[in-house]
Amino acid sequence: MSANFGLVALSFDQRMHGLSGDAVPSFGAQEALDIQLAMDFADGERLPKPYILNGVSLGAMAAQLAGIRDTRVSGLFLVACPGSPQNATGHLGALVNYCHGRDVLSDGDIRRISQPDGHDPLVCYVIGTRDHFGIETTRESYSHWRGVGAEGLFPSDTPDARKWFWAVPNAVHPGSNGQQIWEWDGFARLQREFYARLLASADCA
């Protein structure tokens, strides 16, 4: 997408992912702060806006939290996003909280956060129907955002929508054995149309 639309892309590894080290992830709360620090860096470097957060799995959880509370964010494209930190950690949640010394999972739950007045980014959630985290909690997080929503429809078909939810048939969580979300023949179209709508919208100027 960055090449197709002439965007500047900034990417980094989340905790316990890639080359980021072995720190225990918070499943949203601390990682969202990392994203906000990345936007601070972008501001300091005078990188062009709008700021669009594109995340997968843990990255999507961090993005949805940063995106709902930081008014610099104009759009979010969230792939395979577990709906809440509690949903993502299951029986290991108490251990995660212990490692962070507080109830960090509740801090990362966007359903506990009010969307600031006047902050209405475009939001798109895409998750597989066979994702082992389940899709219902993800749908709850999607529903928490303000604005007209559309499920199973493309942006070009829904001119009044500000948020979209796609449950991709038979797709699994990324990295699991089975059909991957981006193998769905509508994925490229959805992502392309979402970015085009966002970049064309007046509030992204």
| Residue of 154 and 99 predicted with greater confidence | 154
**pLDDT for res 16:** 52
| 187: containing domain | 2-204
What's the pLDDT band for 166 if we cut at 50, 70, 90?
very high
Return d(Cα 62, Cα 139) in angstroms, integer.
Answer: 16
**164 - beta bridge partners?**
124, 150
What's the pLDDT band for 96 if we cut at 50, 70, 90?
confident
Q: Are 76 and 63 in contact (CB under 8 A)?
A: yes
Question: Could you report the per-residue pLDDT of 26-59, keeping only the tens digit for each?
Answer: 778 888 988 999 999 999 999 988 999 999 998 9
| Cβ contacts of 182 within 8 Å, gap of 6 or more | 79, 188
Q: Which two tokens stand for residue 12?
A: 């980094």
What's the pLDDT band for 204 if we cut at 50, 70, 90?
very low
pTM summary value:
0.91
Tally of structural domains, the chain: 1
Overall average pLDDT of the 77-84 stretch: 94
- Residue 105 belongs to a domain with what CATH number? 3.40.50.1820
CB atoms within 10 A of CB 4: 11
Beta strands in 31-72 (DSSP E): 51-56
Peptide bond into 85 cis (omega under 30): no
Return d(Cα 124, Cα 191) in angstroms, integer.
Answer: 9
Overall average pLDDT of the 67-82 stretch: 96
